[in-house]
Structure formats: structure tokens, C-alpha cells
Amino acid sequence: MVMTVIPATLNRAKDKLVIIDQTLLPNQERFLELDKAEDVWEAIKKLRVRGAPAIGIAAAFGLYVCSLRSQATTVADFKKEFEEIRDYLATSRPTAVNLFWALDRMTNRFDKEKHKTVDEIKQALLDESETILAEDQAMCKAIGEYGLSLLKPGMGLLTHCNAGGLATSGYGTALAPMYLGHQRGYDFRVYADETRPLLQGSRLTTYELAKAGIDVTLICDNMASLVMKEGKIDAVLVGCDRVAANGDTANKIGTSGVAILAKEYGIPMYILGPTSTIDLNTPTGEDIVIELRDEDEIGSGFGKRTAPKGVKAYNPAFDVTDAKYITAIITDKGIVRPPYTENLKNLFECER
């Protein structure tokens, strides 16, 4: 069983982006229909849709539905409006490479069709956005198969944040092997970090794994060391928002600490994500821009103040796990092991 809810898709009329508002989970399932650039931007910025692949899908559909509203009669005027919307959506979140990857794909498709009419270009943009969704579904399944090949029945698995169906298009990335293993009777025992400060692990990962009937146990972030020491964890599986050319990986804040602990306890640390999150133009993790979020997410999360008013807070959304802590990077094209600078490059060369 995988997630039956796709976090970002189109309505039946194919003129609105439909997302499930993940800020309300697990207590309320509310769907939003969006067709204005400001609303799509807000949904991405405020994490109503989140997870690198899902952000890319939402950006592609969002760019399409917002462009659909254009009244331009010439391709030149339509292109100008299209680029304004694209550039605006690109400012919503700086770290997840899938956002820019999806917007670039939509732009490339526009340029490929620029000799056609405005209506024909709009149809092409619809086709491209739907293709991005379909490709993600196939990619996640492939990631799951490769990931499952490294696991054995009965293993205890630790995951951080949410890299499941809610972050992608059904199977997820880091959770994909768990779903496939569940279907095949592997009986995994999954431990999910709560993931401070927005609790994506608590609110989202446990929500979807429990819904699928998978054995999942919620732990606080600071309990990871103990469950590792107790021998409950056989492998760590996490997603990724950007992988640098040398294998350094940006993922939800707290991932780096988990990786360091895993190294100490001799537990394999696996990064799972589509090839679209690998950015060979970013040499190392030091070159990745880390998004800083509102301080109140720490001191006043979910409407309850937990720190004195006026106290300063530092709230980076991501951290970078050094490549030396990563056992393997699992993609839809295969499993990549060190040395990453060489082997990540080879992964793309094999595609040509």
C-alpha cells in the first residue's frame, strides 16, 4: 500500500493546482485549489506542500495553471508573463533543487514549442507538467527497489523528517523501500524522528506509515543515539533536497547529527532521492544556500509559546551531511557509493 493522496496534482478540469495542506496534518485533511501565483508561492513557502520532489511537481503544475490565466494573444507577450511567474515562484524556497529543475523543464518545453500558437504552448505546458508527475512516480518506485535490495526482513530502520508519499507522488523516496518491503512481508520496524521544529516526522511520517499498516514508532530527535546504542537500528534512510557534486547532502535540519551518530555506531547511512536532486554544478556542501526560516517556528510553534518573547532564535531549515558520513546514495538510476565526485558524475554519463 502506498499513499492514495498525491500531494500535488491537477483538478479534473485541469485548470487548478490541488494540494493537501500538510500544515494541518495529521488532525485535518484539507485540500486547496490554487491558480494564482501568489497562492502557489505561499503554499510552497509556508510548507503547505513540501518535500523536494513534491515541490518540483507543485511548481510545474503551478506555473502551468497560472500561465493558463494569461490573456496574451502573442507568443512574445505570453512568454513575458510566463517568465514573470516562473521567476516569482523561484523565490519561494532557495535550497530544494527540484524547484528550479522543474521550472527549467517547463521553460525548456516552452522554448521548444515557441513557434506554435499560445493555446498550443499552453497545451504543451500541461503535457510537460503531467509528465513530470508520471516520471516522479516511476522514479520513486525505482528508488524503492534499489533501496530494498540493501535491506533484510525484520530490520529496524530510522528515518528523519518526511520523505514519503506526502513529499513526492505516492511511494516517496526514503520511505519507498519501506512500502515495498511491507508489500512483500519484510516486517520492518520503523523509528521516526519527530523532526523539530515543525515535526514533519511526527505529523507526516507516522501519519502515512501508520495509515499503510507499517510498524512505526515515534521518537524525539534526541533519542536517536539511545535507540542506536540499544541495537534497535540496522540502517538509516533519509531523503535529500540537494546533493552536491562531491556527495555532500542537504536535507532537513537534524540529518547531519543522525549521520554522525550512525557512523559512530557502525550503522549504514543511506540517502535516497531522484537524480534531479543531484546538482553537479554545486561543487560541495559549502556552496549550498541554506534557507533561514522565521524564528517563531521555534519559539511559538503550533500556536503555543515555548520561549520568552523577544528571545533570539536561529532557525535553519536544512543542514549539510558531509559525504564521509554517507554509506550510499540511492537514486532511480542506481546505487552510488564513494568516491562520490567520480561516481555521481559517472551516473549521469551512463545516461547519455
Grid coordinates given for 93? 524556497
Q: Which of 266, 254, 172 is nearest to 212 (CA)?
A: 172
Is 241 a residue of the active site?
yes
Question: What is the C-alpha separation between 292 and 126, in angstroms, rounded?
Answer: 33
Contact yes or no for 175/209 (Cβ under 8 A) = yes
Question: What is the C-alpha separation between 219 and 97, in angstroms, rounded?
Answer: 29
Contact yes or no for 157/151 (Cβ under 8 A) = yes
Helix (H) or strand (E) holding 51: none
| 3-state SS assignment for residue 132 | helix
Catalytic pick among 39, 241, 319, 332: 241
Q: Which of 21, 55, 25, 20 is nearest to 41 (CA)?
A: 55
Q: How far is CA 113 from CA 5, 81, 102, 135, in A?
A: 32, 16, 17, 21
The DSSP output letter for 238 is: E
Question: If you search the block for the grid coordinates 519501506, which residue do you land on?
Answer: 178
Catalytic residues: 241
